[in-house]
């Protein structure tokens, strides 16, 4: 800890960062499980089922959510429609939140899930600000430590699906191992039109989207 703080004061940061960026461009080939989610915006009806299943399973702090559903009104009346876009932590390949933590509390697991070490987290909130998706928040019940989606890691470890995926009334969320995809998830994974949220950021993520076919903007991507 002391050392790290010292380092911050030194002028080496920029050089170090550059090397990180370079390293992260190459993704090591691996056969191990790599969890991924595909959200088909076309199917979502904004029922909020996933939001609350998540809230119940993860006992998320009041007024904060690991996942939300954004609504976008598209078109001009009477050619109007509503487009819902579920949003959450995208489990980036090179997550800006990871290096943002001076304590090394946030890290990415080999299976692609970005998690937080609660023993190490000291509630600095630097990762919250670093996340370009606003997917992180502080939990006032737990000394303001940080929380966010972890794909329901404890459920995955038992062979169960994330709460949001199993609850989804319209199966807008597809989930699986990207290295050994099965069923509908496999079909979806083959699609060439999968998008990431905020594409201008050019972040590779484990959460991908099928954009709205009818909406002028494709949804709230």
Partner 1 sequence: MAHNDDFNVQKTDLPDVASDETVTRKDFLKKAGQTVLAGAAVLAGSALPSHVGADENRQATKTLDPAKTELDTGVRNVYSNCLGCDHRCGIRVRVEEGRITRVQGNPYSHQNMAFSGIPYSTPAADSLKHAGRVCLKGSSAAHVTHDPYRILKPLKRKGPRGSDQWEVISWEQMIEEVVEGGQLFKHLGENRHIEGLRAVRNTAPIDPAQPELGPKSNQLIFANGGGGYQQPRPGLISRWTNSFGSRNYVDHTDACQLGWYMGFRFANDFKGDNWRSDYVSAKFVLTFGITVFTGAKPGLLGVTSIATKRAQDGELKVVTVDPKAPRSQLAGWVPIKPGRDLAFILGMTRWMIENKRYDTTFLENPNEAAAKKDKEKTFCGATYLVAPTEKRHLKGKDIGLKGADADKYLVIDAQTKEMKPFDQVERGEIFYTGEVELNGKKVKIKSGLTVWKDLVFEHSLDEYAKEAEVPKSSIIEMAREFTSYGKKASTDSYRGIGNQPFGPHIGWAMWMMNNLIGNLGHKGGLLKTADYSGYSKGFYDLGKVDGGPKLSGVRLDRRQFNYEDTTEFKQLVAQGKKPYPSKLPWYPLNMRGGAWGEMFMGADHQYPYPAKVAITYFADLVFNMPAGTRFEETFLDTEKIPLHIAISTQYGMTARLADYIVPDCCYLDGMYFTIGYHFSPIRANVLRVPAVKNPADGTLERFLIDTAAKLNMPGFGANAIPDNSGKKHPFAVSEDYCAKAYANIAFNSKTPKASAEEIAMVEKNYICSDLFKKALTSDEWAHVCYLLARGGYFQTYDEAFDENGLHKFTPAMPFFFYCDRMANTRNPATGEFWPDLPRIDVPGKDFFGKRIDANEGKEYNLYLDSTKHPMMTKARSQNFYWALEILPENYVEINVRDAKRLGIKDGDTVKVSSKTLKKGAVGKAKVTGLVAEGVVGIYHSYGQRGYGSIDVKIDGAESAIQGLKLGKWNDNMFGKELQGFIKGNLVVKDTRRGRGIFANELGVTYDYNGNRIMSVDPTSGTPNFYYHKIKVEKV
**Which parts of 104-123 interact with partner 1 (CB under 8 A)?**
104, 107-110, 112-113, 115-119
Please report, as residue ranges, which positions from 175 to 194 form the binding site for partner 1 (by CB under 8 A): none
Q: What is the DSSP string of 76-135?
A: STTS-EEEEEEEE---BSS-THHHH-TT--EEE-TTS-EEE-TTT-----HHHHH-TT--
Find the shortest distance in angstroms from Cβ 35 to partner 1: 12
66 contacts: CB under 8 Å, gap ≥ 6: 54, 55, 58, 60, 88, 89, 135, 147, 148, 149
Cβ pair 146, 125 in contact under 8 A? yes
The one among 33, 170, 179, 203 contacting partner 1 by CB under 8 A: 170
Task: Report, in Å, the least distance between residue 64 CB and partner 1.
Answer: 9
Residue 76 interacting with partner 1 (CB under 8 A): yes
Nearer to partner 1, 135 or 181 (CB): 135
Q: Shortest gap between Cβ of 100 and partner 1 (angstroms)?
A: 4
Binder of partner 1 out of 36, 86, 99, 181 (CB under 8 A): 99
String of DSSP letters for 36-47: EEEEETTT----
Between 32 and 51, how does the x/- string for binding to partner 1 read (CB under 8 A)?
A: --------x-xx-xxxxx-x
SS3 state at 193? coil
């Amino acid at each position: 800890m002391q050392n790290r703080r010292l380092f911050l004061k030194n002028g080496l940061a920029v050089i170090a960062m550059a090397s990180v960026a370079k390293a992260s461009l190459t993704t090591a080939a691996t056969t191990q499980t790599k969890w991924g989610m595909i959200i088909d915006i076309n199917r979502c009806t904004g029922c909020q089922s996933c939001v609350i299943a998540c809230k119940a399973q993860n006992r998320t702090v009041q007024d904060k959510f690991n996942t939300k559903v954004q609504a976008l009104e598209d078109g001009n009346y009477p050619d109007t429609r509503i487009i819902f876009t579920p949003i959450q932590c995208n489990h980036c390949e090179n997550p800006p939140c990871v290096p943002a933590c001076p304590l090394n509390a946030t890290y990415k697991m080999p299976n692609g899930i970005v998690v937080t070490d609660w023993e190490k987290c000291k509630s600095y909130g630097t990762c919250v600000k670093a996340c370009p998706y606003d997917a992180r928040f502080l939990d006032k019940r737990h000394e303001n430590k940080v929380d966010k989606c972890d794909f329901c890691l404890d459920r995955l470890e038992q062979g169960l699906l994330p709460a949001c995926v199993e609850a989804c009334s319209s199966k807008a969320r597809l989930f699986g191992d990207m290295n050994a995809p099965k069923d509908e998830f496999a079909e979806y994974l083959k699609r060439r039109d999968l998008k990431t949220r905020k594409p201008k950021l050019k972040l590779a993520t484990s959460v991908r989207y099928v954009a709205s076919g009818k909406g002028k903007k494709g949804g709230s991507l």
